[in-house]
């Protein structure tokens, strides 16, 4: 370590000097990451936003165009609704799963964690193509439903098909925050509630559910925001008539070379994301004070 | 107060209850029977892992019984869900609902009983008054100290007048001073409410000071049930004698005809020995007399020669460590005031009235298999 050789300036006690030097070293350590973010994240975003105001002509032209082109507003609304449905469905699927994870023994919990993380270790492309095979005409889903008399259910090219696949992809991002919030909840609270006269189900609704709200909020916002920017899945499984914001941006950039319009759409998406984060952080703050169930000063 | 013994139709009757957790071989509670009278303060006392919490959880209904039955006021509740048993439970870690204010916590059981709002308010106020927490009604549990949280838990558990209050080491998480204070408050609540209290602890001092009766648990079984005085003065097993209080234990062979316990180098008179075989004579420290002059000792008394190993001053009295001829170590207690008849290194005659001793069977190797028992042997300097 080079910091060990730095001499403390006169008047500074050795201990304080060393502390400051260590802090300066820590500052250097984050430099690579900061540089990376600056070059590959902040700079491009700044460029995009800048272009949305300047390309092809300076002013708010691109944003006005979004309002009047007859399609962008529809796409934005459709994207928001889809993201809400995906986040909501993911929550409904993930909640019982995460709850079960807190109940089972350590070995079963290990297996359940691996099952959740499995998607992380599989290529996104592979999974999307797997859904493609399942959802296409004469695919597994079509044939299975055919067996029970529901013919011709082709999810491919529909919003429903896209939603189902996105829920599966998003599951880990919901299960993990939920689980980490739930394992903080003292299981004896449910015993206490039942001993006080609440049937099991009401005890759950009155005590457990409210205490798991912080986990629900963080999982929901994570999935909601990620779904807003999802590109591959809707591109592959959806239809061009039902496109979402990321597809339209891609189209503007690669087919229409409309960098300003794409930038404006991207900026709108960014604003929505920031708004969601702001609202959620507003909501979670009063809750985080409560998440410690065994208060013991 | 001295409650009348239960006739079965009132109070709590535990009959031959066992609990085997799935995947374990040894039962956590093993064939336990216990009758608890209405209004009684019953303590379940025992070392860690002896099955106290399991017994309490079966009473509350959190875990099912593997065998046997639990009756409350003559009605079998073994298969009843916890919310229908109408019992109050207080946990070691308080288990207050962190998202509700103190008042809301205490109101919770009343809301479950669909009590009118106005009644709830008066009841909550009364309960908070009982535990001296009226000014804290609107605080959140996390804004209270541990002792205050436990008092909220007590208020919450008695506000709906349950048939009994079950407490699992409620003072275990508190520091010494708070523990003493809350002990007195629990005793006062018991007097004022006249409710049946079932109290779990591994602290013998707590058990002795609070209880009407104590059930001593060891490895899932009850060793002895009795009043604190019964257990202290007439322990029926070596475990009980060693778990509750200090004692000097002479091991040997009981000769019933001769009426003596033969130890290695001396004998001790046992007028009422229960049976022949290996046995232990147990004497509490305050029953041992130390005399330099043997002629002062009444004829009927037991007397054994010993060497004083050490003397420890503990404020109200001296603890005198003793070593007997066969290597047995023991302890006598002398009130501070009268001069001590002996100093460390002196040879003395130790005497006691056989009426104040207890004779119990010597379970082979019992002394080693008893965990967490404070040894009767004073620490040698
Ligand atoms: N859920 C469980 N599953 C399996 N075994 C258990 C379970 N709970 C307790 N046991 C076992 O049952 C025995 C009795 O446990 P219990 O908690 O009743 O003891 P305790 O007297 O309350 O001890 P402590 O003073 O440490 O609280 C122990 O050997 C314990 O390991
Ligand atoms: Mg316990």
How many contiguous H segments (helices) and E segments (strands) does chain B have? 9, 20
Q: Looking at the CA of B45, which ligand is closest?
A: 1
**Closest residue CA from atom 10 of ligand 1:** B28
Kindly give the distance from the C-alpha atom of residue A181 to the centroid of ligand 2, in angstroms, as a whole number: 26
- Residue B116: is it exposed, middle or buried by C-beta count within 10 angstroms (0-12/13-18/19+)? exposed
- Supply the ipTM of this predicted assembly: 0.83
**Which residue's CA is the nearest one to ligand 1's atom 31?**
B49
Q: For residue B170, give both structure tokens.
A: 């409620």
pLDDT of residue A120: 78
Q: What is the pLDDT of residue B54?
A: 96
Encoding tokens for residue B340? 């001590």
Which residues have C-beta within 8 Å of that of residue A32, sequence separation ≥ 6?
none
Instruction: Name the strand (E) or helix (H) holding A220.
Output: helix A213-228
What is residue A41's predicted lDDT score, i.e. its pLDDT?
A: 87
Is position A152 within any domain? yes
Residues in chain A: 297
Distance CA B115, CA B61 (A): 24
Q: Counting beta carbons within 10 angstroms of the beta carbon of residue A36, is it exposed (0 to 12), middle (13 to 18) or buried (19 or more)? A: exposed
Q: Is the pLDDT of residue A5 over 70?
A: no
A115/A58 Cα distance (integer angstroms): 51
Which one, of A126, A158, A125, A119, lies nearest residue A142 by Cα? A158
Report phi then psi at B202, rounded to 5. Answer: -115, 10
**Cα distances (Å, whole numbers) of residue B156 to A193, A249, B86, B106, B249:** 11, 59, 13, 4, 45
- Is residue B23 left, alpha or beta, with left meaning phi > 0 and alpha meaning psi from -120 to 50? left
Q: How many domains does chain A have?
A: 1
Q: Which residue has the tokens 């005793």?
A: B187
Q: Are B284 and B232 in contact (CB under 8 A)?
A: yes
For residue B141, give the chain A residue with the closest CA. A295
Q: Is residue A108 in a domain?
A: yes
* Phi and psi torsions of A67, nearest 5°: -70, -30
Dist. CA A72–CA A291, nearest whole Å? 41
Q: What is the pLDDT along chain B (381 residues), one digit of tens a residue?
A: 444 454 556 899 999 999 999 989 999 999 999 999 999 999 999 999 999 999 999 999 999 999 999 999 999 999 999 999 999 999 999 999 999 999 999 999 999 999 999 999 999 999 999 999 999 999 999 999 999 999 999 999 999 999 999 999 999 888 888 899 899 999 999 999 999 999 999 999 999 999 999 999 999 999 999 999 999 999 999 999 999 988 999 999 888 888 888 888 888 988 877 777 888 999 999 999 888 777 778 888 999 999 999 999 888 889 999 999 888 999 999 888 777 778 898 889 999 999 999 999 888 644 333 333 333 333 333
- Name which of B99, B100, B110, B169 to mutate to probe chain A: the one with the most chain A Cβ atoms within 10 A of its Cβ: B99
Residue among A178, A185, A183, A163 at smallest CA distance from A116: A178
Q: B15 is written with which tokens? A: 């009959």
pLDDT of A289 > 50? The answer is: no
Give residues with Cβ within 8 angstroms of B125, minimum separation 6: B134, B137
Contact B234, B359 (CB under 8 A): no
Tell whether A199 is covered by a domain.
yes
CB pairs under 8 A between A and B: 89
Of B82, B93, B145, the CB nearest to A194: B82
Q: Is A9 part of a structural domain of the chain?
A: no
> With an 8 Å Cβ cutoff, are A192 and B83 in contact?
no
Domains of chain B listed by start with CATH number: 12-229 (3.40.50.300), 246-361 (2.40.50.140)
What CATH number did the domain enclosing A249 receive? Answer: 1.10.3720.10
Report pTM.
0.81
Q: How many CA atoms lie within 13 A of A172 on its CB side?
A: 12
What is the reported pLDDT for A285?
Answer: 62
Measured between alpha carbons, how far is A193 from B274 in angstroms, rounded to an integer?
50
Q: Is residue A255 part of a domain?
A: yes
8 A C-beta contact, residue A116 and residue A175: yes
DSSP B134: G
Q: Quick check: A186 and B93 CB within 8 A?
A: yes
Q: Do A196 and B93 touch (CB under 8 A)?
A: no
Cα(B32) to centroid of ligand 1, in Å?
Answer: 15
Give me the pLDDT at residue B373, please: 38
Measured between alpha carbons, how far is B340 from B318 in angstroms, rounded to an integer?
Answer: 9
User: What is the Cα–Cα distance from B353 to B130, expressed in whole angstroms?
Assistant: 46
Q: What is the pLDDT of residues B68-96, one digit of tens each?
A: 999 999 999 999 999 999 999 999 999 99
The tokens for B89 are: 């439970």
pLDDT greater than 60 at residue A207: yes
State how far the Cα of B352 lies from the Cα of B200, in Å rounded to an integer.
Answer: 34
- Determine the atom of ligand 1 nearest the C-alpha atom of B220: 14
Kindly state whether residue A12 falls inside one of the protein's structural domains: no
Structural domain range at position A268 = 36-290
* A23 lies in some domain: no
| CB B244, CB B235: distance < 8 Å | yes
pLDDT score at B381: 35
Give pLDDT, residue A97. 95
State the pairing for strand pair B67-72/B12-19: antiparallel
Specify if A78 maps to a domain. Answer: yes
* Integer Cα distance of A218 and A179 in angstroms: 11
* Token digits of residue A242: 């039902």
Return the ligand 1 atom nearest residue B52 CA: 21
Nearest CA in chain B to A185: B98
**Which residues, in sequence order, are bridge partners of residue B61?**
none
Angle at B46 between CA B40 and CA B48, to 5 degrees: 135
CA atoms of A260 and A52, how far apart (whole Å): 4
> How far, CA to CA in Å, does B139 sit from each of B104, B133, B143?
10, 10, 6
- Over 80: is that where the pLDDT of A290 sits? no
Burial per residue of B215-236, b for 16 or more beta-carbon CB atoms within 10 angstroms, e otherwise: bbbbbbbbbbbbebeebbbbbb
CA dist., res. B168 & res. B158, Å (int):
15
Residue A233 CB neighbours (<10 A): 26
Amino acid B126: pLDDT: 94
Residues 6+ away with beta carbon under 8 Å from B81: A194, A199, A200, B61
Q: Which residues surround ligand 2, an ion (CB under 5 A)?
A: B 53
Instruction: Kindly state the average pLDDT of the residues A144-164.
Output: 82
User: B360 with B244: CB under 8 angstroms?
Assistant: no
pLDDT by residue (tens digit) across B10-47?
899 999 999 999 989 999 999 999 999 999 999 999 99
Q: Which structure tokens are listed for B118?
A: 């106005």
**Beta strand ranges found along chain B (DSSP E):** 12-19, 29-36, 41-45, 67-72, 75-76, 88-90, 164-168, 196-201, 213-218, 221-226, 248-255, 260-262, 267-269, 277-283, 289-291, 302-313, 317-324, 329-335, 347-352, 357-361
Q: DSSP assignment of A117-167, as one string?
A: HGGGGS-HHHHHHHHHHHHSTTSHHHHHHHHTT-TT---TTSHHHHHHHHH
Supply A221's token pair. Answer: 């916002």
Q: Which residues contact A100 (CB under 8 A, 6 or more apart)?
A: A112
CB contact under 8 A, A290 and B81: no
Beta strands at B41-45 and B213-218: parallel, antiparallel or unpaired: parallel
């Amino acid at each position: 370590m080079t910091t060990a050789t730095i001499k403390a300036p006169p008047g500074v006690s050795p201990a304080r000097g060393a502390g400051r030097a260590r802090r300066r070293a820590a500052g250097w350590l984050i430099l690579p990451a900061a540089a990376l973010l600056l070059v590959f994240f902040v700079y491009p975003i700044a460029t995009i936003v800048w272009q949305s105001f300047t390309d092809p002509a300076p002013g708010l032209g691109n944003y006005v165009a979004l309002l009047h082109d007859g399609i962008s507003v529809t796409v934005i609304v459709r994207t928001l609704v889809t993201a809400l449905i995906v986040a909501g469905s993911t929550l409904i699927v993930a909640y019982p799963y995460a709850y079960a994870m807190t109940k089972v023994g350590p070995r079963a919990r290990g297996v359940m964690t691996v099952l959740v993380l499995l998607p992380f270790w599989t290529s996104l492309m592979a999974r999307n193509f797997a859904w493609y095979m399942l959802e296409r005409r004469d695919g597994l889903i079509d044939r299975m439903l055919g067996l029970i008399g529901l013919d011709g259910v082709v999810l491919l090219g529909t919003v429903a098909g896209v939603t189902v696949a996105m829920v599966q992809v998003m599951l880990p991002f919901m299960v993990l925050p939920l689980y980490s919030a739930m394992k903080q909840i003292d299981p004896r609270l449910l015993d206490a509630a039942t001993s006080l006269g609440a049937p099991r189900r009401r005890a759950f609704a009155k005590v457990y559910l409210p205490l798991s709200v912080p986990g629900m909020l963080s999982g929901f916002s994570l999935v909601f925001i990620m779904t807003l920017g999802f590109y591959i899945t809707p591109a592959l499984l959806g239809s061009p008539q039902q496109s979402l914001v990321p597809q339209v941006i891609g189209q503007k950039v690669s087919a229409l070379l409309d960098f300003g319009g794409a930038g404006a759409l991207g900026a709108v998406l960014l604003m929505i994301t920031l708004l969601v984060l702001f609202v959620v952080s507003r909501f979670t703050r009063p809750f985080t004070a409560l998440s410690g169930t065994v208060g013991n000063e | 107060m001295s409650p009348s013994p239960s006739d079965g139709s009132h109070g709590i009757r535990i009959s031959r209850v066992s609990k085997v957790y799935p995947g374990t071989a040894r039962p956590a509670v093993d064939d336990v029977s216990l009758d608890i009278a209405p209004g009684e303060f019953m303590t379940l006392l025992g070392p860690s892992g002896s099955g106290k919490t399991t017994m309490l959880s079966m009473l509350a209904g959190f875990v099912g019984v593997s065998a046997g039955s639990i009756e409350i006021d003559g009605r079998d509740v073994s298969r009843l869900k916890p919310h229908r048993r109408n019992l109050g439970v207080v946990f070691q870690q308080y288990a207050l609902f962190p998202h509700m204010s103190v008042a809301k916590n205490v109101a919770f059981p009343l809301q479950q009983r669909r009590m009118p709002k106005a009644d709830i308010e008066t009841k909550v106020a009364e309960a908070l008054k009982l535990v001296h927490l009226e000014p804290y009604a609107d605080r959140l549990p996390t804004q209270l100290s541990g002792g205050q949280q436990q008092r909220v838990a007590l208020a919450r558990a008695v506000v709906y007048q349950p048939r009994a209050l079950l407490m699992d080491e409620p003072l275990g998480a508190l520091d010494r001073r708070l523990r003493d204070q809350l002990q007195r408050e629990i005793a006062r609540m018991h007097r004022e409410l006249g409710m049946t209290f079932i109290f779990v602890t591994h602290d013998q001092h707590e058990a002795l000071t609070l209880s009407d009766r104590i059930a001593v648990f060891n490895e899932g079984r009850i060793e002895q049930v009795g009043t604190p005085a019964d257990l202290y003065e007439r322990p029926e097993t070596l475990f009980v004698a060693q778990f509750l209080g200090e004692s000097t234990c002479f091991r040997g062979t009981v000769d019933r005809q001769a009426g003596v316990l033969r130890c290695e180098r001396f004998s001790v008179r046992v007028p009422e020995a229960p049976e022949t075989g290996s046995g232990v004579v147990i004497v509490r420290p305050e029953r041992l007399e130390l005399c330099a002059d043997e002629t002062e000792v009444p004829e009927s008394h037991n007397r054994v020669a010993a060497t004083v190993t050490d003397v420890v001053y503990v404020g109200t009295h001296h603890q005198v460590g003793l070593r007997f001829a066969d290597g047995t170590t023991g302890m006598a207690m002398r009130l501070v005031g009268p001069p001590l008849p002996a100093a460390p290194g002196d040879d003395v005659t130790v005497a006691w009235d056989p009426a104040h001793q207890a004779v119990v069977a010597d379970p082979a190797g019992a002394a080693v298999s008893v965990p967490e028992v404070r040894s009767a042997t004073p620490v040698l300097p």
